[in-house]
Amino acid sequence: MDFLTTTGISKQQLHSLLQLAKNLKEEHKCGKPNNSLAGKTLALLFEKPSTRTLASFQLGMAQLGGSATLLSSSNSQLSRGEPMKDTGAILGRYADIIAARLYSHADLEELAQASSSPVINALTDLDHPCQALAALLTMKEHNKLFAGSKFVFAGDCGFNVANALMAATSLAGMEITLACPRECKINEEYLSFARSRSTVEVSHDLFAAAKDADVIYTDTWVSMGQEEEKEKRMQMFLPFQVNSQVMKEAKKGAIFMHDLPAYRGKEVTAGVIDGPQSTIYDEAENRLHVQKALMLHLLGKA
């Protein structure tokens, strides 16, 4: 059993993972030891840089009594083009579970196909399912995760984080509004998945989209691998910056979310991201707990 896409989980699995993560977080806060994964090993295969994902997987595995090893582009044969098929077959024989951050989702599928151990998507160009779980746990903690709650994604609605959140918030029955430029290509498969479970509006006017929102989420305008298009993308997304005027359109008590790293003054102003409605550090913290829940689930310990 792998965890490659947010569309691959059911509503029931989503809620049980969130409940398990909540329990693990409470246990961790009380300092209660949990050695459920003693003797288990995690291989981290990372083609791209990471702060949150890497640290939360490594430390999460250690907190559950297991151990982790990192293979990056610089310390492995990844950069020399060793086939994912060979890498997956071998890591599957060494490790009990693999978390992989790869540029291409097709490469992740090839890795998972060859591995005898479960593979977790730690971000690809298509999806970021661990981020979606952490975002939903954060919404739950802030009482925003309920059917009919209005979720607005502002900016780049055509990439991994938007895809993951579209799928996850629709599973939770939230009403989704995607606020993006006309040129932005929304993933048809994820849009259709979300529309089959909830309502999804597409707007090209962020102020109108933000009206009565419970949650406003944004992400960087230039993701890893898009650096060559930086200037064009900056111009294209400029009208979709989340600032205090946008937040005023949302409900009183609405929260602001971002998966980080963030670029203050670009997709969000410093006043909003560092202001009282921001939940950025809660969401980053929750990466640890949802990934621990996920590893326990995939290794049959939950």
Binding region for ligand CP (CB under 6 A): 50-53, 123, 131, 259-260
CB of 15 to ligand CP, least distance (A): 23
Residue 34 vs 69, nearer CB to ligand CP: 69
Quote the CA–CA distance of 61 and 56 in Å, as a whole number.
8
Quote the CA–CA distance of 205 and 3 in Å, as a whole number.
34
CB of 44 to ligand CP, least distance (A): 11
Strand order in 97-101's β-sheet? 67-72, 41-46, 97-101, 119-121
Number of other residues whose CB lies within 10 A of the CB of residue 24: 24
Residue 75 vs 113, nearer CB to ligand CP: 75
Residue 50 vs 198, nearer CB to ligand CP: 50
CB of 218 to ligand CP, least distance (A): 13
Q: What is the number of H-type helices and E-type strands within the chain?
A: 12, 9
CB of 159 to ligand CP, least distance (A): 12
Residue 123 vs 257, nearer CB to ligand CP: 123
CB of 161 to ligand CP, least distance (A): 8
CB of 35 to ligand CP, least distance (A): 26
Residue 90 vs 260, nearer CB to ligand CP: 260
Residue 55 vs 62, nearer CB to ligand CP: 55
Q: Which one-letter amino acid corresponds to residue 251? A: K
CB of 182 to ligand CP, least distance (A): 27
Ordered alpha helix ranges (H), the chain = 11-29, 52-63, 84-94, 105-114, 129-141, 160-171, 188-195, 206-210, 230-237, 244-249, 270-273, 280-298
Q: What is the DSSP letter of 109?
A: H
Residue 51 vs 75, nearer CB to ligand CP: 51
Q: What is the DSSP letter of 268?
A: B
Residue 68's DSSP bridge partners are 42
Closest CA to 295 of 12, 7, 43: 43
Quote the CA–CA distance of 268 and 130 in Å, as a whole number.
22
